């Protein structure tokens, strides 16, 4: 499950796993954060500034660790594993930041997606911004959200990943996700 901050990834993943369990399907949720929120908070509350490349490097280490750990966890699980974020999220961040994609990250993102149902939850930047403001845990600019959205939609089109509007109610998103799993 991919998408911009505020697109409803975590909410949709939790609801999907719940729906699968209601249908007696063994399911689990795993998250692959990059510690971006934590890092942004630390930098904002210190006297230090770090470059975009350094921030990306730190986030990439966290993301790769989480993806590796959760890929192992998924391989040991006999049911459906729904991942909240993945390597492709780092590619989107790199595009927005004007950093090179890197051959390794692109290869890894595509290798991990090969046998998976990759879904991008899509929502407009204004809606995402409003959701982020409501939860009050982090901050993003509308410009960053719009650039991120464009990066995700470009990746989805290029790699033929499913795009689902998350501007609708969560149960509608879950219905569409269940349909993706049924194909």
Q: 51-71 pLDDT, tens per residue?
A: 888 888 888 999 999 999 999
pLDDT at residue 44, as a whole number: 74
Q: For residue range 87-110, what is the model confidence (pLDDT) as tens digits?
A: 999 999 999 999 998 888 888 888
Q: Which domains does the chain have, with CATH numbers?
A: 2-182 (3.40.50.300)
| Entry pTM | 0.90
> If you ran DSSP here, which 8-state letter would residue 24 be given?
T
Confidence of residue 153 (pLDDT cuts 50, 70, 90): very high
* Three-class SS state of 28: strand
Sign of the dihedral defined by the CA atoms of residues 9, 15, 17, 20, in that order: negative
pLDDT at residue 183, as a whole number: 61
Whether the Cβ atoms of residue 167 and residue 176 lie closer than 8 Å to each other: no
45: pLDDT strictly greater than 80: no
Whether the Cβ atoms of residue 81 and residue 30 lie closer than 8 Å to each other: yes
């Amino acid at each position: 499950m991919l998408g911009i901050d505020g697109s409803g990834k975590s909410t949709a993943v939790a609801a999907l796993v719940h729906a699968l369990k209601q249908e007696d399907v063994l399911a689990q949720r795993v998250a692959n954060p990059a510690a971006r929120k934590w890092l942004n908070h630390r930098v904002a509350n210190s006297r230090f500034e770090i470059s975009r490349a350094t921030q990306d490097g730190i986030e990439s280490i966290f993301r790769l660790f989480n993806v590796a750990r959760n890929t192992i966890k998924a391989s040991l699980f006999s049911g459906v594993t729904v991942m909240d974020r993945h390597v492709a999220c780092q590619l989107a961040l790199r595009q927005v930041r004007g950093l090179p994609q890197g051959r390794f990250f692109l290869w890894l993102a595509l290798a991990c997606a090969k046998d998976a149902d990759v879904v991008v939850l899509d929502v407009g930047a204004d809606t995402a911004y409003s959701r982020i403001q409501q939860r009050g845990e982090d901050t993003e600019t509308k410009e960053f959200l719009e650039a991120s959205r464009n990066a995700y939609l470009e990746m989805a089109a290029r790699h033929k990943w499913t795009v689902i509007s998350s501007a609708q109610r969560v149960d509608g998103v879950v219905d569409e996700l269940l349909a993706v799993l049924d194909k």
